[in-house]
Structure 1
C-alpha cells in the first residue's frame, strides 16, 4: 500500500510537550515509559498499557496534536503513565523473549508500587489498555484485586475472527489491514511516526496468542472492577456481533459494571487515528463516573451500545 507523500516528508517530534520519559525498577526489570502530570494534585492516575508489537508512545501519537492520551489526561486533572510492557523498550535487553501474561501480571503491580513511591497518584489507579495490553490488564485485575479502580479496554474480544489467532500464517498485507483498517482513518504523518512505536512481539508473548480464548474464560469470572470495552467500527481481529458480546459480558459475572461500545470511524489502532480524541474523552468520562460512584454498592450492570448489537 502506498503512503501519502506528506506522510513521508513530515518530521515529527519524539513526544508531546509536557510528556517526559521515565524508568521504573520492578521485579528485577527496568521498565521504560512516559508520564504526564497535571498542574495540581491528580484526581487519579491513568495507567496506559500498549498492545503487541507497539510501545508506550502509542498513547502519545505525534501525527496530530489531538491524538495524545497523555496530554489530554493531564489537562483534565489526571496523571497519565504509559509503560513499555516487559520485553519492550528498556527491558527488551533483559528479557528479549519477553514474559508470559502471568509473569507480566506480577511485574505490572510492582511497577505501579514503584511509581507510587515517586509520584502522587490521587485516588488510585485506573487502567486504559489496548489489544494485547488489554489481556494483561484483565489478567492483572483478576489476579490483583484491589489494585485498580476501573478498567477501559479497546481492541480486545474473547473470540478471534476466523484465522486471526494463527499469526504466523497470516500474510503481511492481511495482518496490516486488520491492524490498521482504511488509511483514511488516520491523519497524515501517522505511519512515519509509527516507525518509532513499532517493535517486534517477543516470542514468549506470541506463543500465547492462540491460548487467549481459554485464558479469558478462566479469568473473566474473577474480574471485579468496572469495565468498559470498545470495539472500533473497523475492528477485524475479534468477533463482536450480538451473540459474541452477550457471551463475553455474561462471563464477567463479578464486574460491578460492564459497558460495551463501538467507536465510529476507527480501526483497530484507535489511539493513533482520527477517532483517538473522542475515544480518549469517552474513556476518561467513564473513569470520572467510576470515581464518582466508588464505594456505592450497586448491583452489577450490563450496558451494550446498540451499535454493537448488530449481528
Structure 2
C-alpha cells in the first residue's frame, strides 16, 4: 500500500508520492495494471517517481479503486476514469496548475485512454503515456477473458501465480534481474471483477476510444509482449486511430516484456515519459 492517501469525494486512494526539490514544473499521475499496485512505478533501480522528481516534477502513483485502501470499492474503468480526472484536477489545483501527464500500464493504460477520450479531459491532462495496452488477444485468450466469471460472493479474482506472471509479463532472461522478478511477486494482488470485462473488451472498444482523443499520446508496445498480440500491423492500426489527435507516437520498446518498467531499460523508458510531458 502507498505512503499517502488522496481523497476523491468519499473515496480514499492510497498512493506513493515523490516531491521534487522545488515547486513542481509538472505532475506525473501513474496508473498501475490489473492485479498490481502503485508500487509498480516505484521499483528502486528504475522508479518513475524518482525519475520524475529528479527532473523537477511531482510523481504520484495511486492504488486504483479495488486496490490498496480502496480494495473494497472495485468499479468498472468508466467509473474509475471519473475518479482519475477528478484527482488530476485536484493535484493541479494544489500545485498551482502545472501540466499533468497521465501514465498508464496495462489495465491502467486502458483507463488512461478512456479518461483522455472524455470531453473536457484537456482541462486536467496535458498528455498521456501508455504501455502494455491489449489491442489484440490470441483467440483462446479472448475466449477465456470473455467467459471468466467470479465465484459466488467474490469481488476479486485470485492473484496470478509466479509461473504465469513470469511467462506473461517478463521478456528474455537477460533483460531483467532476479530482484525485479522478486519485486513483482510482492506487488501481485487479487484482480477486481468489476474491471476485468474492460480488459476483455479492450480490443473491441479501444479503436473508437482512441479516435476520440485530442491529447498527445505516446503508446508503447513491449517488443517481447506475451500477454497480448503485438505486431507492426497492430501498431499501424493504432497510428491510424490516433491520427486525429494533437501529437502521437506509437512505438516498440526493445528488450522488454509486458512489465516494461521492471526491465533493465525501465529507467530510460521513464526518462522518455518525462520528455513526452515536457514536450506537451
TM class by shorter chain equals 0.7 to 0.9
Shift of the alpha carbon at 1:241? 1.8
Aligned to 1:145: 121
Cα RMSD (Å): 2.2
Q: In structure 1, what is the Cα distance between the partners aligned to 2:96 and 2:266?
A: 24
- Structure 1, 126-135 or 280-289: larger mean CA deviation: 280-289
Aligned to 2:103: 128
Contact 1:24 1:114 in 2 (8 A): no
Aligned to 2:50: 71
Q: In structure 2, what is the Cα distance between the partners aligned to 1:92 and 1:100?
A: 13
TM alignment of 1:157-236, pairs within 5 A: 157-165=134-142, 166-167=144-145, 173=163, 176-236=166-226
Listed as ranges, the gaps of 5+ residues in structure 1 are 1-13, 15-19, 291-311
Shift of the alpha carbon at 1:216? 0.8
Shift of the alpha carbon at 1:122? 5.1
Q: Which of 235, 245, 253 in structure 2 is aligned with 1:245?
A: 235
TM-score between the two structures when normalised by the length of structure 2: 0.87
TM-score between the two structures when normalised by the length of structure 1: 0.78
Q: In structure 1, what is the Cα distance between the partners aligned to 2:28 and 2:179?
A: 26
Matched, 1:87 2:69: no
Aligned to 2:250: 260
Structure with the greater alpha carbon radius of gyration:
1
Q: Which of 100, 105, 113 in structure 1 is aligned with 2:89?
A: 113
Contact 1:47 1:126 in 2 (8 A): yes
Shift of the alpha carbon at 1:174? 5.0
Shift of the alpha carbon at 1:175? 5.5
SS in 2 for 1:148: coil
SS in 2 for 1:261: strand
SS in 1 for 2:187: coil
Shift of the alpha carbon at 1:82? 0.5
Matched length = 264
Q: In structure 2, what is the Cα distance between the partners aligned to 1:125 and 1:105?
A: 15
